């Protein structure tokens, strides 16, 4: 299949969501996800959406601190059932929130490729970052940001189906939460093979399509509902992350 990007020039073309259905059936998962009839379906308002069958979804985010030019970046990768595949987080040096968001996208693309994923939807809640990667033509980078953009675009010329798109902040809650959950204060990249426990309710909310308020915090009623559902899933040895 043609990748989402073409090496400039000419400018990139973009294949709109949803991607075409995969031609091959993926192998069965090694986990036991909850059966569809067990989980309630809410799907009201803006929320995270599962990728189509055969695809994974990578959500990225960054948190920028203006007073020290230090940022944290993070990403969350989930499969078509909404089950955690991996995550990453790291501290980085960046001159702006835009640059930090770019660095998060670059790291996500690199990890996805290195892990052998070939059907990927990448989402960022930075519309300007998505637009620059998809549309900007760079022949000779003039600064670090343009170098990162060019590097992100370079992944598009590889042999995979990689789709990049913008999502609202409400649909990026898990990645946002992971930017605040760093494994250490070092600048080393940390890959989360298993999600931190603090993300369990967020991941469950995403799986059932629960709307997350724009300020990024579940209300008391939502938390109570999710805790009840979490206990029921654990009692039946069903996994959602």
Output the pLDDT for position 130. 96
pLDDT tier at 12, thresholds 50, 70, 90: very low
**Predicted TM-score of the model (pTM):** 0.80
Instruction: List Cβ neighbours of 101 (8 Å cut-off, separation of 6 or more).
Output: 60, 61, 62, 73, 124, 126, 129
- Span 121-129, average pLDDT: 96
Closest CA to 53 of 69, 72, 29, 31: 29
Residue range 15-65, pLDDT digits in tens = 444 454 444 444 444 445 555 545 555 545 688 999 999 999 999 999 987
From start to end of 137-239, where are the E strands?
161-166, 190-192
pLDDT tier at 217, thresholds 50, 70, 90: confident
- Span 139-165, average pLDDT: 92
Q: Which residue has the higher pLDDT, 124 or 39?
A: 124
Output the pLDDT for position 40. 53
Q: Which residue has the higher pLDDT, 65 or 132?
A: 132
CA torsion sign, 206 to 211 to 213 to 217?
A: negative
- The yes-or-no verdict on residue 107 having pLDDT over 90 is yes
Residue range 73-102, pLDDT digits in tens = 999 999 999 999 999 999 998 889 999 999
131: enclosing H helix or E strand: helix 127-135
- Span 131-143, average pLDDT: 91
3-state secondary structure of 139: coil
Average pLDDT over all residues of the chain: 83
Output the pLDDT for position 175. 95
Please give the order of strands across the beta sheet that includes 84-93: 161-166, 119-124, 56-65, 70-78, 84-93, 190-192
Output the pLDDT for position 34. 55
- Span 8-20, average pLDDT: 42
- The yes-or-no verdict on residue 117 having pLDDT over 90 is yes
Output the pLDDT for position 35. 55
β-pairing verdict for 190-192 and 161-166:
unpaired
- Span 184-196, average pLDDT: 86
Output the pLDDT for position 22. 45
Output the pLDDT for position 16. 42
């Amino acid at each position: 299949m043609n990748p989402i990007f073409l090496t400039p020039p000419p400018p990139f073309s973009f294949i709109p969501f949803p991607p075409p259905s995969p031609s091959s059936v993926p192998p069965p998962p090694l986990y036991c996800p909850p059966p569809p009839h067990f989980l309630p379906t809410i799907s009201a308002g803006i929320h995270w959406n599962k990728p189509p069958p055969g695809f994974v979804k990578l959500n990225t985010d960054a948190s920028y601190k203006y007073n020290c030019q230090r940022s944290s970046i993070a990403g969350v990768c989930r499969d078509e059932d909404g089950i955690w595949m991996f995550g990453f987080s790291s501290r980085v040096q960046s001159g702006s929130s835009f640059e930090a968001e770019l660095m998060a996208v670059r790291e996500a693309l690199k990890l996805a490729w290195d892990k052998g994923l070939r059907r990927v939807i990448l989402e960022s809640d930075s519309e300007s970052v998505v637009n620059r990667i998809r549309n900007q033509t760079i022949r000779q980078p003039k600064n670090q940001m343009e170098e990162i953009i060019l590097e992100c675009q370079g992944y598009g010329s590889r042999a995979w189906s990689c789709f990049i798109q913008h999502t609202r902040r409400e649909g990026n809650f898990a990645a946002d939460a992971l930017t605040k959950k760093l494994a250490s204060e070092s600048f080393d990249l940390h890959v989360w093979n298993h999600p931190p426990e603090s993300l369990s309710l967020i991941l469950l909310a995403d799986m059932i399509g629960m709307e997350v308020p724009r300020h990024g915090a579940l209300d008391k009623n939502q938390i109570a509902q999710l805790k009840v559902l979490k206990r029921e899933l654990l009692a039946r040895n069903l996994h959602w992350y």
